[in-house]
Amino acid sequence: GVAMSCCYLAAAALMGGYVWKCAPRGPAKLAIAILPGGLMFPPIVESLVTNQKGTFCLLIVTTTFLLLQIRRPAVAGLCFGWLMFKPQLALPIMLVMLWKRQFAFCLGCMGTLCLLGMVCLAVGLDANSQFLRLLGAAPEYIYRHGYSVASSHCVDSFFHGLIPDHPRKARMLAATATVALILLALRLVKGPIQCDSHRFALQYSGLIVVTILISPHLYGYDLSLLLLPFVVIIILPRKGHDASMTKAAAYVALALFSLSGLSEYLARATGVQVTVLLMGCLLYFLFAIASSMRQDARGSIVSQ
């Protein structure tokens, strides 16, 4: 619990420094206020109370983002590689960065993976084979007795909760939604990657949301990762024709922040996991704003 609390404090401090440097005065005050307020974000609370790794994952993705912002891709990759202890949270962003030919980042990831591989070998082959079997069975967790679909926040559990009596149809709908989300993620990063731009902050935030949604197994504490996209949205410039979309994204983020603690109870009562719907809306606005920035400035956002 102490270690996870320290991870949250470190992540909050890093985000606070980013906000102080990049945001206008008004949004900066609001964004910095949300960092101690993050202790009221139910996924953060759940992570700390149950001693889960949500805040550790938040620290990894935040540190990686800030290292990319200051153009240290290899070091960012070394940092991000530690997220491979939960491969479903690491692979989507790693594969996108590879597709975008961010080779320094990918080499950094490979360096960390080699180190983790040596640690795994030191633990023993039996433990590693059990871990691989556990990973391979992740898509089937949802069919196991005692698995709480209402506590899960991905598209797979969303459709299984929506039509619990038709598991095959739910699986097909989830697979279709997953393909659509992957295609949207690829469109989100269309064009050159400029890591020190507002547009990249939106792209990275969108990839975090996609990663959460397509994960085969994701409980509430992993929603701690959303705190970084919340901060990014708050400090976005509210000028030009995309100001209304930026405000709408902020309202969706606020709803997600507020309702995440009630989502399990709502899912049990209605069969609808509201966090998945809200994350879908949030992803739409992130994509729309990022596309608008690309059209207006051809990716050169920092100069604005």
Q: Look up residue 58 and give its two tokens.
A: 């938040």
Q: What is the pTM of this model?
A: 0.89
pLDDT per residue over 97-117, tens digit each? 999 999 999 999 999 988 888
Of residues 139 and 76, more confidence is placed in 76
Q: Which of 118, 10, 117, 132 is nearest to 61 (CA)?
A: 10
Q: Look up residue 146 and give its two tokens.
A: 């005692």
Q: Which of 231, 219, 182, 167 is nearest to 16 (CA)?
A: 231
Give the confidence band of 275 by pLDDT, cuts at 50, 70, 90.
very high
Give the confidence band of 190 by pLDDT, cuts at 50, 70, 90.
confident
Residue 42 and residue 261 in contact, taking contact as beta carbons nearer than 8 Å: yes
pLDDT for position 143: 64
pLDDT per residue over 33-57, tens digit each? 666 777 888 999 999 888 888 999 9
Residue 117 and residue 128 in contact, taking contact as beta carbons nearer than 8 Å: no
Residue 275 and residue 260 in contact, taking contact as beta carbons nearer than 8 Å: yes
Dihedral angle at the C-alpha atoms of 213, 214, 219, 221, nearest 10 degrees?
Answer: -60
The CA distance from 212 to 46, in Å, is 17
Sign of the alpha-carbon torsion through 74, 79, 82, 86: negative
pLDDT for position 297: 46
Half-sphere exposure (Cβ direction) of 302: Cα atoms closer than 13 Å: 11
